[in-house]
Amino acid sequence: MIRHDAIGHDAIGHDAIGPDAIRHDALVLGGGLAGLTMAIQLKRQDPGIDVCVLERRAHPVPEAAHKVGESTVEIGAHYFANVLGLREHLEAAHIRKFGFRFFFSDGRRDIDRCTELGVSRVLPTPSWQIDRGRFENFLAEEARRLGVHFHDGAVVRAIELGTNAAPHVIAYEHAGVPHRVAAHWLIDASGRAGLLKRKLDLSAAEIHNANAVWWRVDGFVDPKDWSDDPQWLARCTPPDRWRSTNHMCGPGYWFWLIPLSSGAHSLGIVCDAAMH
């Protein structure tokens, strides 16, 4: 799920901006997946909107970026492909997903004897396994092509929230040089950094006590290599379980396997902190 937190006003007081602040209609804090898609959607909706994105990391980022959120569901894929018009890139640069797939061992060691929940035919509504670094590099280029002011390597130093008709003003640093920008709308897409959340003290206690760890391995991990049962191997058409988001599930944990188009496989474990 992509979430955008926005604060806006009905009008901008020009005198409040200050002589050194560059004015924009919308300012997005964070140029990852959420921030860049928001900027692209705004420009596609109204090309006349002046949008600025501040991203802390320098671009281009590594293709197999260590970020969770690689396995799209159908509604998210619809947003990327149809609302934002990115289907051509998704088809050419990412892996078509073969649905979700879950294996429950129930004490059995052989994968072809485990309880398996997953599709046996390709779903008519597409989704993709997103290589986050590759996708975000493309989104940054697409945003710039549409006229978005995208500043990578930009570190936010201060946030001044406007009141009444005053604009929001952000101080940031790029290559050691300070800058100020002002905007009617301020959108926090900074992820775990939570810039507005921290400023407004909106943090809440996390009641879901779980642990997670994830990493990458080169090459693809293919479940068909774990069985020589011809009936089990033929159950899926095409026999591409490896393109699924595979989950190996047990008491208090699950282990995911997600293939990435850059030639890596994303692996991760989520577990109940009280059990493991």
> pLDDT for 99-149, tens place per residue?
999 999 988 999 999 999 999 999 999 999 999 999 999 999 999 999 999
The Cα 40–Cα 187 span in angstroms is 13
- Pairing status of strand 177-188 against strand 168-174: antiparallel
**Pair 166, 9: CB distance under 8 Å:** yes
109 lies in the same domain as 216: yes
State pTM to two decimals: 0.90
The verdict on residue 48 lying in a domain is yes
Residue 145's CB is within 10 A of a number of other CB atoms, namely 10
Burial of residue 43, with CB atoms counted within 10 A of its CB: 0-12 exposed, 13-18 middle, 19 or more buried: buried
Instruction: Say which CATH number the domain at 48 has.
Output: 3.50.50.60
Determine the Cα–Cα distance for residues 32 and 56; give it in Å rounded to an integer. Answer: 9
pLDDT digits (tens, 9 = 90+) for 245-258: 999 999 999 999 99
pLDDT value, residue 5: 59
What pLDDT, on a 0 to 100 scale, did the predictor assign at position 15? 44
Q: Put residue 106 in one of left, alpha, beta given phi > 0 → left and psi -120 to 50 → alpha.
A: left
- Stretches where the chain sits below pLDDT 50 are 1-4, 9-16
pLDDT at res. 80: 98
37 shares its domain with 145: yes
Q: Is the dihedral of CA 14, 18, 24, 27 positive or negative?
A: negative
User: Cα–Cα distances in Å, from 252 out to 19, 72, 197, 244?
Assistant: 57, 24, 31, 22
* 141 shares its domain with 192: yes
Q: What is the pLDDT of residue 8?
A: 60
In a domain, 82, yes or no: no
